[in-house]
Chains A and B, each alone.
Chain A
Amino acid sequence: MVDKKLDLVTLTDRQQKARRNRSAAIGLALAVLVVIFYVATIVKFGHSGSM
């Protein structure tokens, strides 16, 4: 009975929506970070190469 109750712990719609919202923001932030570091590396290596 206890285990069954623990299994019933589910996120509310609001909590699920907030989690999706946070996940999307984290994903976007990570994607931006990857692009920034990738392009910045190209820029800096390019600069060093031309010296």
Chain B
Amino acid sequence: MALVDERLIDEAGSRMSEATAGDFFALLKPRVMSLVVFTAFVGLVAAPVTINPLLAVIAILSIAIGAGASGALNMWYDADIDAVMTRTASRPVPAGRVTPGEALSFGLVLSVLSVMTLGVLVNWLSASLLAFTIFFYAVVYTMWLKRWTPQNIVIGGAAGAIPPVIGWAAVTGTVSLESLVLFLIIFLWTPPHFWALALFKSEDYARAGIPMMPNVAGEASTRRQIFAYALILAPVGVLPWLLGFTTPAYGVISAILGAGFVWYAWKVLQMTDDDRVMKPAKALFGYSLLYLFAIFAIYLADCVVSRALAIGGA
């Protein structure tokens, strides 16, 4: 009896959470969130009409929290596979700092809060798009595609590509061709970015049983597909200029950046099967992050400068 009581007391003690605010912040996937915030901000600033600065801040904050909420839901559902991958084993849920129930509750509460805040204070189109993004990432990608098909990140990439569309919709109340081009750039960037990672982390993914492209179709096929996507992405990156949304300056710089992407992808294509260090794949992964940031930064700068010159000339 005494043993049972002591064990109950011990179990009660072990249920007391040691999770800090930092652990809950980590559930939001802050690095992914930073990219979401930046691309949403570009969509918001690039829109041809202005919005009250405070409402703009609220829109960006809501989009960031919504993206973070979907990250928390992802970590709740994927705790089993996160635990066996070196890249993700130290995340709060597999490491035992946050319980799955806490992660689920946290994700659900933030999902509702972010969508409602965006809807009530900004507009319901952007809130609907945010709700769709959370659903698409947490349910369609995490619960269905990720463990089912090697096309998981191709289709699931749509969730990561929507933020500039939400930013644009928050200001204009519409979805336009300009924002869809920004969507397309991120959508086409996602497969080569993640497949480069999957190449040099293929053992991790295999251990977790995730059907990433290198584990299913083989490394040679993945290298060819990376190169094919790079060939499509490079001209699509120039589309904003070709469609007349930006100045030629953006066109020239984006073309150079796209050529760089193709060159790095070409180096990946040249890799041999016995190359286990995979420096070209790691280089492409790093460059792809730089590419996306640079493309959006230049697009943003182009919009801001063009607008400033137009106001100055008026």
Contact = CB atoms under 8 A, between A and B. Distances in A.
Interface of B: 1-2, 5-6, 9, 12-13, 16-22, 24, 52, 54-55, 58, 61, 117, 121
Contacts of A34: none
> Taking chain B's interface residues, is the majority helix, strand, or loop, or is none over half, making it mixed?
helix
Contacts of B24: 22, 25
B55 A18 contact: no
A22 B20 contact: yes
A24 to B, nearest CB: 7
Given A22-B24, A25-B21, 19 more contacts: A5-B5, A5-B6, A5-B9, A11-B16, A12-B13, A14-B18, A15-B16, A15-B17, A15-B18, A18-B18, A19-B17, A21-B20, A22-B21, A24-B21, A39-B54, A40-B58, A40-B121, A43-B55, A47-B52
A6 interface: yes
A2 interface: yes
Contacts of A47: 52
A9 B19 contact: no
Interface in A1-51: 1-2, 5-6, 8-9, 11-12, 14-15, 18-19, 21-22, 24-25, 36-37, 39-40, 43-44, 47
Nearest to B20: A21
B21 A21 contact: yes
B9 A9 contact: yes
Nearest to B4: A2
A12 B18 CA distance: 9
Contacts of B55: 40, 43
B9 A8 contact: yes
B19 A18 contact: yes
A2 B5 contact: yes
For the complex of A and B, 7 pairs with smallest distance between CB atoms: A25-B21, A15-B16, A21-B20, A18-B18, A40-B121, A18-B20, A21-B21
